[in-house]
Structure 1
Amino acid sequence: MKSTILLPVLVLIGILSTSSRVITVQERYMEQYKYMAISEMNRSGIPASIKLAQGILESQSGRSELAVNANNHFGIKCKSNWSGETYQYKDDDLDENGELIHSCFRMYGSGEQSYIDHTDFILNRSRYKPLFSLPKNDYKAWAMGLKKCGYATDPNYGIRLIETIEKYNLNLLDAPVIVKPVPVLPVIENTIKTQVNTTNKQVVKGSLNSSKYSKNKSYNVKSKKRFRTFTAPRLSESK
């Protein structure tokens, strides 16, 4: 009797502990922007794992001042060709006296715009061109390549990207989504015609060339439903 009661209790405890788990800010950020990272990977070839890991680090999972006030998730500065809105922020620029001064950063209307501009920023600069000769699924080579191309001044930037990717299994986002063929039941030629009588039973009459049914008789049969089966592609969740 005790074992009979104990099992449901253990199951209930397991359900409660799972449902009450606190979602971290990193998980919320990944859930919000992972599909954007995949979309930009398909457009440009930049691995989704790299882009999302950069977003996590550069924006502190969407909590940095630049991300909150300027929707800038990648710390991209204005540069001479930027004609959009700007945001002044003290980063790493110094004046002649060595004092930290405000730097000009790009400001976006949304985080998604920041992701798109990050792609264009890398695509349109020749110093990042060597990255696109790397295998698209080699996130380690891309991480170290970004550092080598001068994306960040942090000497450990590439290592930090790799650690972030491996911590959250972001490399799963780089795998191509394989769409399975949809199995469709064959359409039977010369199908049996049906009519519904007043007692809600289905009366089936055979076709003229069918030897199974007589031309002058009606048969009561149970209706059978035919289904088409669709298999939706499943995207691996990052942990």
Structure 2
Amino acid sequence: MLSGQSWASPNKETAFGLAGEQSRQIASGPDISQASASAFFKRFSSVAITERKKFGIPASVLLSLAFLNSHAGQDPSAKLVNNYFATPCTEDWEGEAASVDNRCIRKYETAWYSWRDFSIYVSSQVWFGAIKQKAGKDWERWCKLLNGKDISSVGNLGSKMAEVISYYKLYELDK
């Protein structure tokens, strides 16, 4: 993680955006306070880095996906069933399930299981190998190539991911 960062210094840039801002609305999502965003990124940065090392998906891409899908952990899917990616139930899913907002989503014992299962879920898609080969470590290419893939109900996913990554400087975690 980025050590020595001040998470509350007003009007100074931090690793995750501007600390002095009260809230930030990403695209058409809910307002998310800077404190909530910073807490979310601080909590999950090391998990995203671990997943990057194991699956080859940039940490910034995973963090932005979780951030958007869970509204920085504030969405019922994250709060009630630890599903930070709103990963849907599939025919082969054998774990617990829950209905959130009239959608069947996977239920997890912990947040970590959500991250690991999402990495497995994405890496098992037929298109994953081609994206990994084309994009490599380039988070911007990942955003463009993931746009339109059935991994999120967030519209215009690629540009929203890029906005989150740029604004909060999540690309620093990919080094």
Quickly name the TM-score band, shorter chain normalised. 0.7 to 0.9
The unaligned stretches of length 5 or more in structure 1 are 1-16, 91-101, 176-239
CA spacing shift, 1:153–1:67, aligned 2, 3 Å:
closer
Aligned to 2:56: 45
Ranked by relative contact order (alpha carbons within 8 Å, sequence separation 6 or more), the top structure is 2
Moved over 3 A (4+): 152-155
The structure with more helix, counted as a fraction of residues: 2
1:132 to partner: Cα distance: 1.0
SS in 2 for 1:134: helix
Q: Is the 8 A contact 1:128 1:149 kept in 2?
A: no
> In 2, distance between residues paired with 1:27 and 1:83?
34
Q: Is the 8 A contact 2:86 2:152 kept in 1?
A: no
> In 2, distance between residues paired with 1:74 and 1:85?
15
Aligned to 1:156: 156
SS in 2 for 1:54: helix
Aligned to 1:126: 126
**Given the alignment of the two structures, is residue 18 of structure 1 paired with residue 9 of structure 2, yes or no?**
yes
Aligned to 1:174: 174
CA spacing shift, 1:161–1:110, aligned 2, 3 Å:
same
Identity of aligned residues (%): 24
Larger Rg: 1
TM-score normalised per structure 2: 0.78
**Given the alignment of the two structures, is residue 54 of structure 1 paired with residue 71 of structure 2, yes or no?**
no
SS in 2 for 1:58: helix
Q: Is the 8 A contact 2:88 2:104 kept in 1?
A: yes
Aligned to 1:138: 138
- The amino acid that maps onto 1:118 is F
**Given the alignment of the two structures, is residue 68 of structure 1 paired with residue 59 of structure 2, yes or no?**
no
SS in 1 for 2:103: strand
Aligned to 2:16: none
Q: Is the 8 A contact 2:85 2:152 kept in 1?
A: no
> In 1, distance between residues paired with 2:133 and 2:37?
30
TM-score normalised per structure 1: 0.58
> What's the Cα RMSD here?
2.0
The count of residues paired between Structure 1 and Structure 2 equals: 148
SS in 2 for 1:126: coil
Aligned to 1:188: none
> In 2, distance between residues paired with 1:174 and 1:164?
14
CA spacing shift, 1:18–1:127, aligned 2, 3 Å:
closer
The unaligned stretches of length 5 or more in structure 2 are 1-7, 11-19, 23-33
CA spacing shift, 1:84–1:36, aligned 2, 3 Å:
same
Q: Is the 8 A contact 1:128 1:146 kept in 2?
A: no
1:155 to partner: Cα distance: 4.3
The answer to which of 145-154 and 62-71 deviates more is 145-154
> In 1, distance between residues paired with 2:92 and 2:111?
20
